[in-house]
Structure 1
Amino acid sequence: MTSVPPTAQEQSGFVVELEQFSGPLDLLLHLIHEDEVDITDLPIAKIADQFLAVINDLGLNQAADYLEMAARLLRIKAQMLLPRRLGDDEWEDPRAELVRRLLEYQQIRELVEWLGAAAARRAEQFGRGFAPEPPAAPPAPLMVDLNDLLAAAERVIALIPEPVLHRVVPRPLDVEGATARIEGLLAERASFGWRDIVGVHPTLVDVLSAFIALLELAKRGALRVDQEGPFTPIQIHREPAREAR
């Protein structure tokens, strides 16, 4: 593991391990959690200074994605210092877009961690001495690395074009609506696919809402999620306890 030299520790008050970050959004979330600040009301000046100190000491000041985020933070910091005119109802918080991306990334990260934990639990469900017959054509095991998934999620978010608007009004997640759709499908079928939930051309909000709804229903024991291998379709199955009701 690579640690921050003493100079960065004196400036930011913590030690950073390079391997634990999959990108600039991941590093920003780490700084926010370390400082225990509200993600929706970021102290942008402090976070920007810490971010610059960390990427400088880790030698990341030549990486394009980290430099782009550093420039964004400095621009927001400068905008926050501009005087706000009295009675200006059209003023837009320059942190709004960054906060939206951080919240989306945090939800995806929590989902990936839950899926990893669920896979580990399923791997331990057979007791000692139990030797089930292998299937005729066993599916390839799904090898998932948390950092790879987080990096892929960040790349997907980065590809979403930013709307050219004077004011950004993020669309809220519709977890209740997604839950209702999934429960309706569970009532009709014993199993169904991911596309049955989100459709053919889902938005990012639709995908996040459906993932969170699946997470909650799986925690209740209403369903289980399977995937035979990498990039294969996700299948949702009604749990036997639900069928018996």
Structure 2
Amino acid sequence: MAVTTSQNAIPMDKLWQEPERAADDPALVIDVGGFEGPLDLLLHLARNQKVDLARISVLALAEQYLQFIESARRVRIELAADYLVMAAWLAYLKSKLLIPQQARGDDGPSGEEMAATLAFRLKRLEAMREAATRLVNRNRLGRDVFARGAPEHIPHRVQSAYDATLYDLLSAYANLRQRGAVTQVTIEKRKVWSLADARNLLTRMLGEIADWTALQHYLLPYLPPEDRITATASAFAASLELVREGRLEIRQDGAFQPIYLRKGQSSGTTNPLLQAMAGDVD
């Protein structure tokens, strides 16, 4: 297993701090190579070079550690992990005595780096376990703490305020009634002068038309404004009939000029204006 370090390796004795153990926790007491006592004491003496590691049997240390694990893991499994680090450290110290020191190349991590990595992982595992224990022991909803019951009923009243005047009220009512009312539209019949009415009028006026007189002179003063257009058109058409019969003469000085009438001189005479109109028709 390759281990990558970004800084110089920190000695294991600075990384490893012996955990605090309760008074009732079982202790690993070993008897190897003339030493009999707790494993953490042996580790302390080995670090300070106050014990001869060459006389310590790693095989005996491993056997006693396995026996301790069988009895201690039922009580506290993290305690076994702590002693595992101690045993690994002792094995590492003795391996340095047995294996000749050689120049370390770049092909792998050193023993101190591997031991420091192992101690760091064990510490991180312990932190995870403690965090899980704290989460499990937190107050639980419905067991330790309880939510609020039914919410309090708060009455909700709505009060409307109107700012419309009496005129607004009557206008709205009138518009509503007007939309529902049936409206009957009556178109007034248009008053029209017929050709016979205009002919009779001109026939009665023949005795009075001795000289040239404008057609409007006999019509406009006696008719209301709304009847003047239809009366003028009908009188002009009737005058053409009387001109054709020779009873009336008609002339016009130019386009859009007034039309003048006078009594015919003889029945055989044909009015020049009538001849011109007849030529246009042909």
Q: Same fold (TM over 0.5)?
A: no
TM-score by length of structure 2 reads 0.25
TM-score by length of structure 1 reads 0.28
Structure with the larger helix share: 1
